[in-house]
Amino acid sequence: MSCKENMICKVKTLTPVHVGSGDRYLAVDFVITKDKVVFIDPLKFFEEITHKSYDLVNVAREIAEGKSIGDFIEDISKLKTGEVPFIGKKKRNEILEHVKCCGMPFIPGSTIKGAIRTALLWKAVKDDRSLLDWTIKHIKNVAGKRRYIKREELKRLDDALESKVFRKSSKDPKNDVLRALKVTDSTQFHRKVVYEIKFLGMGNFSQLVECINFNDSAEIEMQIDKCVQEFMDLKLMGQRIDLDTVREAAKEFAEEIVKTETKRNYPEKTKEEFRKVLRAKGIVLRIGWGIGWYSTTIGTLLKTHPDFESLRRKLGLGKNPRFKRFSRNFPVVRRVTCDDKPLGWVAIHDCHD
């Protein structure tokens, strides 16, 4: 009998997905036309304006203040290194870059595994109310009489719950339940696009983001090593993890996210896009940037606890950094594409399905 439950899977993007590389395209790297982002070689651009006797310092300053490369060079075709569709209305002077390999976007295995971990954590707390009570009590103990908790302490609070759920016998990472789960990086996707992302609840603020467009697909490999589970006696809520467990937890978590998000103040088109993702087959996950608090935490459960509202103020959740006031309806910000699609939904299923 094989130790490993192995599956070659197709990853399909149900809505646009952005997994950040940590880098940005700056205004000297691209020009936005009506429906395209044209990427250019900035060194060639500066060579061109030097030949035209422009002052480099003044040009750099004017671009930083909002001018485009196209304001200085009429024919940008000789500077062009590539182009992708642009879906948006407002031009900005930077674009968040998606993680790529050989110039093409992919989804890291760690991103997918992280989303699975969140779904399993949410499911464990949902099925065992004592874990939610323990979490609230733990926050209270850490907070004490302080007015607020520092950001680095928030991460330690998350780690404490994860340790309790995934490492019940020990805090040692070697005894983590998900040590037995391996997820490879995806192969390359092919439908790159730059979206203008609207921040609903923040006036007219928006940001340009490089994404994998919806309805694109690639492959990953998922593997559960049963021998590692047996040897380390790794269990979640008294049971060993398999792909059916992952699928069921992801399904329940996705349903709860959709139920919660469709009650919020989104355009009706966005709400319908949320509902549509639940019709996808396989493991449905929400990953990457811009997906919000409910999709990356056990927030839908925390908000049901009677002490949550007072505790979130100590956690600093929903606090306006400028005015130092707390929002009444947390979380406030909702990110959607300029054509009202939610971000980050993918479906993973066996390639033979």
pLDDT in tens, the chain (353 residues): 466 667 788 999 999 999 999 999 998 899 998 899 999 998 888 888 888 778 888 888 888 787 888 888 878 888 999 999 999 998 888 999 999 999 999 999 999 999 999 999 999 999 999 999 998 888 888 777 666 666 666 667 778 888 888 886 656 667 788 888 999 999 999 999 999 999 998 888 999 999 999 999 999 999 887 766 665 566 676 677 888 889 999 999 999 999 999 999 999 999 999 999 999 999 999 999 999 999 999 999 999 988 888 888 777 777 766 656 777 778 888 999 999 999 999 999 886 65
Domain stops at, among 98, 133, 156? 98
Distance CA 117, CA 246 (A): 9
The per-residue pLDDT for 230 is: 61
- CA nearest neighbour of 79 among 48, 57, 55, 33: 48
Distance CA 315, CA 307 (A): 12
- For residue 139, the enclosing domain spans 4-19+103-350
Residues 262 and 191 occupy one common structural domain: yes
The per-residue pLDDT for 353 is: 58
Residues 228 and 304 occupy one common structural domain: yes
287 touches 17 (CB < 8 A):
yes
pTM here? 0.90
- CA nearest neighbour of 348 among 226, 211, 251, 212: 251
Residues 89 and 176 occupy one common structural domain: no
235 touches 176 (CB < 8 A):
no
**What angle, rounded to 10 degrees, do the helices at 56-64 and 42-51 form?**
130
Residue 239 dihedral angles phi and psi, to the nearest 5°: -125, 150
Distance CA 229, CA 225 (A): 7
The per-residue pLDDT for 232 is: 58
Distance CA 150, CA 143 (A): 10
Residues 209 and 320 occupy one common structural domain: yes
The per-residue pLDDT for 214 is: 97
Q: Which residues pair with 237 in a beta bridge?
A: none
Residues 163 and 258 occupy one common structural domain: yes
Domain stops at, among 80, 98, 116? 98
The CB-side HSE value for 123 (13 A sphere, CA atoms) comes to 21
Q: Which residues pair with 239 in a beta bridge?
A: 236
Distance CA 328, CA 72 (A): 47
Distance CA 331, CA 35 (A): 32
Residues 119 and 239 occupy one common structural domain: yes
The alpha carbon dihedral of 184, 185, 190, 195 has a sign of: positive
Beta strands in 110-205 (DSSP E): 181-183, 192-200
Residues 39 and 77 occupy one common structural domain: yes
Q: Which residues contact 97 (CB under 8 A, 6 or more apart)?
A: 20, 21, 22, 23, 24, 25, 210
Residues 218 and 126 occupy one common structural domain: yes
The per-residue pLDDT for 314 is: 73
Number of alpha helices (DSSP H) and beta strands (DSSP E) in the chain: 11, 15
Residues 93 and 59 occupy one common structural domain: yes
Distance CA 45, CA 35 (A): 22
The per-residue pLDDT for 325 is: 74
Scanning the structure block, which residue is given the tokens 């404490």?
160
Residues 49 and 121 occupy one common structural domain: no
- CA nearest neighbour of 211 among 60, 90, 99, 348: 99
The per-residue pLDDT for 1 is: 47
Residues 158 and 288 occupy one common structural domain: yes
Residues 87 and 39 occupy one common structural domain: yes
Distance CA 123, CA 177 (A): 14
Domain count, the chain: 2
Domain stops at, among 78, 98, 118? 98
